[in-house]
Amino acid sequence: MDISHASSLSKADALALRYGEDSIPAAGPWSDAIALMLSHRSIRGYRPDALPEGTLETLISAAQSAATSSNLQTWSVVAVTDPGKKAQIAKLSAGQKQIEQCPLFLAWIADVSRNERMSVEEGVTLEVLPFLETYLVAAIDAALAAQNAVTAAESLGLSTVYIGAMRNNSTQIAELLGLPQGAMGVFGMCVGYAAPDTANEVKPRLPQDAILYRETYGNPNESALRKAYDAKMAAFSKRNDMTQDTWTSRVIGRMSKVAALGGRDKLVSALHAMGFPLK
């Protein structure tokens, strides 16, 4: 077992890195697994080194161990290692270079097609297939599985990053991966060893008071909490040579213009074309 950097972090250090010294939550019980998760960073630069044999199977065994709604298992994963195919995926996903760099790219698929193939063999109609609910379950279950794969990878000293831009051109990704109707690449994931020059400081999050509520939603101090977090993110950005400085400016940059969706504003029609009527 190698939990690398994680095991070296105390609870106090892990919480200070994630929230800043002035916003440490009153956390109680602790474990090595929790320390590992607290140390998470998304890594956007990879060494070309191959993964140890059986790593993919290990990660998927963790992924399949996550809960899945009613055991329906409406997700799949396509593991891509072929450099040509990774380059094509990168091209369709905002040109993100880490997709080409990483030795293993996982395309996580919201997939109701397997269940549908079963129903065809059994001569039964699955009435729930066309509903938004069914797509949502598939996407959520893919996410639960993928997050277990992230924790598993990091427990082995590997790094990961989610690729939401794999939805920029969903129908072309589906064609490239040979997906049937009722299957859609919901996000990608790079897996590999972080390049030595990659920024990897733990990113601060909003204080718990801004996202965790008791019994009823809301916190009257939200605006002040955001402004304190903005200052923290400005300092973080400066230390890590990022262009956006505060959380507020980051969110505005990503959410104020439809163009920032990179094509994902057409997700509804793309899903219709892939066999999800979203009824």
Q: CB of 110 within 8 A of CB of 142?
A: yes
The secondary structure of residue 269, as a DSSP letter, is H
Neighbours of 140 (CB within 10 A): 17
Rounded-to-integer distance, Cα 198 and Cα 201, Å: 9
Determine if 197 is a binding residue for its own copies (CB under 8 A): no
Determine if 184 is a binding residue for its own copies (CB under 8 A): no
Of residues 91, 172, 203, 234, which one binds its own copies by CB under 8 A?
203
Of residues 90, 99, 102, 109, which one binds its own copies by CB under 8 A?
109
* Shorter beta-carbon distance to its own copies: residue 48 or 212: 212
- Which residues inside 65-94 make contact with its own copies, applying CB under 8 A? 65-73, 75-82, 85
- Which residues inside 23-42 make contact with its own copies, applying CB under 8 A? 25-34, 36-40, 42
DSSP sequence for 97-123: HHHHHSSEEEEEEEE-HHHHHHHHHHT
* Shorter beta-carbon distance to its own copies: residue 48 or 222: 222
Tell me how far, at minimum, the Cβ of 48 lies from its own copies, in Å: 18
Determine if 199 is a binding residue for its own copies (CB under 8 A): no
What residues have CB less than 8 Å from 185, skipping those under 6 apart?
78, 107, 108, 109, 166, 167, 170, 173, 174, 177, 179
Determine if 258 is a binding residue for its own copies (CB under 8 A): yes
Which three-class secondary structure state does DSSP give residue 253?
helix
Of residues 5, 16, 47, 60, which one binds its own copies by CB under 8 A?
60
Tell me how far, at minimum, the Cβ of 261 lies from its own copies, in Å: 6
